[in-house]
Structure 1
Amino acid sequence: MYKKRHFSSVFISDVHLGNQDCKAEFLLDFLNNTSCDKLFLVGDIVDLWQMTKQFRWPDAHNEVLHKIMALSHGKTEVIYLPGNHDEPLQKYHGMQFGNLEICREYVHTANDNKQYLVFHGDQCDGDVTLGKFHAWFGDKGYDLLLFLNRHYNRYKAWRDGSYWSLAGYIKSRIKGANKAIHRYKVAACQRAKAKGLDGVICGHIHHPEQDTILGITYLNDGDWVENCSALVENLDGSMEIIYWTEVQTSRAIDFPIKKAKRAA
């Protein structure tokens, strides 16, 4: 049985509430079985891009938002760093609503006194983009990967109830994707290095990873579309990536395989 853990800080990003590929059930299970002093929402929490195309808001997505708000009204400090998919919230940079703070970038001092630049990561897009055609092709290809991932996991849910990121597996074997990820990592670490910090914590590319580049610690908390991952800071300041599909407390998590009701 999983024992509820308390962390100094928790970092989650790329939840994409409102998107049919969001694994809200896994995130809700994670939030219900962890506690923390600080919760960092590292961008793309709500997929406002997708919602302008098609409104989709299942009950589980609502429950995640209610849980986050409940945490912010309790003893947990919540820092929201909007990304590109929740870009309209960027205009509230520097504002605070109760125990919830909104900002584009944040310098976090861990319990071991290491300092990390925290930001979504879309700020590095100019260093990674290979042109409009490649960006369009990448978007279409990613949509196909998520389509395959969705239907593969419907089959997995029917067979044994488990989840496995087919999209992540395929993406990791695409040469061009690996090059783009490396360029992104270098760009993120350069931003932290220019500020004289020890590391960088980000999301954006849906690729959880811990690495060292240019002498800077690179930490990507992943996403809740493909990987269901979070970055956590332990009480001693050490950092750890948790994949919730591997430690979920409920084997009966309801996969989001039913079509959500559309808004009238």
Structure 2
Amino acid sequence: MDYEPSASGVTRYRALFISDVHLGTRDSKAALLRDFLASSRCETLYLVGDIIDGWRLRRSWFWNDDHDSLLRLILQMAASGTEVIYIPGNHDEMFRSWLPLGLKIASIRMQERAIHEAADGRRFVVLHGDEFDSVVRCAPMLAHLGDWAYALALWLNRYLAAIRRRLGLPYRSFSAWAKRHVKEAVKAVDRFEEALAQEAKRCGAAGVICGHIHTPEIRTIDGSLYMNTGDWVESCSGLAETMDGRFILVSGLEEQRHPGALPFRRAPRSRSGEAFADESVPGDPWPRPALTPAA
């Protein structure tokens, strides 16, 4: 299926769903997400948890200009009319204590979960998903140990990626490969996905939109549409509802000429064959930062 950019290079969506950015870590691809959002317009932006990595920031501090500029852009989007909904995850669980207060911070609404109504009227539960991870729920200390092991895998990933670049080989994520091929990891992902699909049924929804496991996916499980946004650490992916109401996975990698990257999947043309109208953007309040490679 072909996706076309609008004439101005800005792509319009009904909704964007982003999770697992893990700001505060060296592996966060904040610059890639910033550049993707700067080239997109959406009516609603869902931040589906683990946007800031409080676990890692408590151990060691890392914060650079890319992290700052991404947060500024999201705040500008909220101030410019985009509805921004922040659903905290387990790594930014410090914000969950604010949820009973019903706070709206800088035009960003914070809530435990949301219901998204698609263009065709279908309703989807939107939540981070950690409450359906048996390790996080039943053995939090083990979850922190797993986070340490994941950080080690990402450290190894950085060095392997550098070696592959020097050899002229395409980018491959070691940790993503391990999740796909280690039998117990595959079983854990399957259990997680099935539990989320059941939650959608329990809520009387058509499906569920979540993050948490860093595995982008759109598939039907026992009649429920399961959609996972992925992450901005390895896959650099998100979920989008197009202007005509279809759900697609989007990737921010190719825009940076990243080896082995997938392209941005652009919003489609209308059924009449005409490109969706795109307003001119003089005086656009959303800055369009120069494209720079992520660290």
Other-structure match for 1:182: 190
Residue 129 of structure 1: how far off its partner (Å): 7.0
**Residues 135, 18 of structure 1: alpha-carbon distance in 2 compared, 3 angstrom cutoff:** closer
SS at match of 1:39: strand
* Structure 2 residue runs without a partner (length 5+): 259-290
- Worse overlay, 135-144 or 187-196: 135-144
CA contact (8 A) 2:136 2:143 kept: no
CA contact (8 A) 1:82 1:104 kept: yes
Q: CA RMSD in A?
A: 2.4
TM value normalised by structure 2: 0.79
> For residues 98-117 of structure 1, what are the alpha-carbon distances to aligned partners after superposition, in whole Å with 9 as ceiling and x for unaligned?
53110011011011111000
TM value normalised by structure 1: 0.88
Alignment of 1:24-103 (within 5 A): 24-93=30-99, 94-103=102-111
Other-structure match for 2:292: 253
Quick one: percent identity of the two aligned structures?
Answer: 39
**Residues 202, 7 of structure 1: alpha-carbon distance in 2 compared, 3 angstrom cutoff:** same
**Residues 136, 96 of structure 1: alpha-carbon distance in 2 compared, 3 angstrom cutoff:** closer
Other-structure match for 2:154: 146
Alignment of 1:177-216 (within 5 A): 177-216=185-224
CA distance in 2, matches of 1:224, 1:161: 22
CA contact (8 A) 1:157 1:163 kept: yes
Other-structure match for 1:261: none
CA contact (8 A) 1:128 1:180 kept: no
Larger Rg: 2
SS at match of 2:58: helix
CA contact (8 A) 1:198 1:216 kept: yes
CA contact (8 A) 1:40 1:81 kept: yes
Q: What is the aligned residue count?
A: 255
One-letter code aligned to 1:66: R
**Residues 136, 82 of structure 1: alpha-carbon distance in 2 compared, 3 angstrom cutoff:** closer
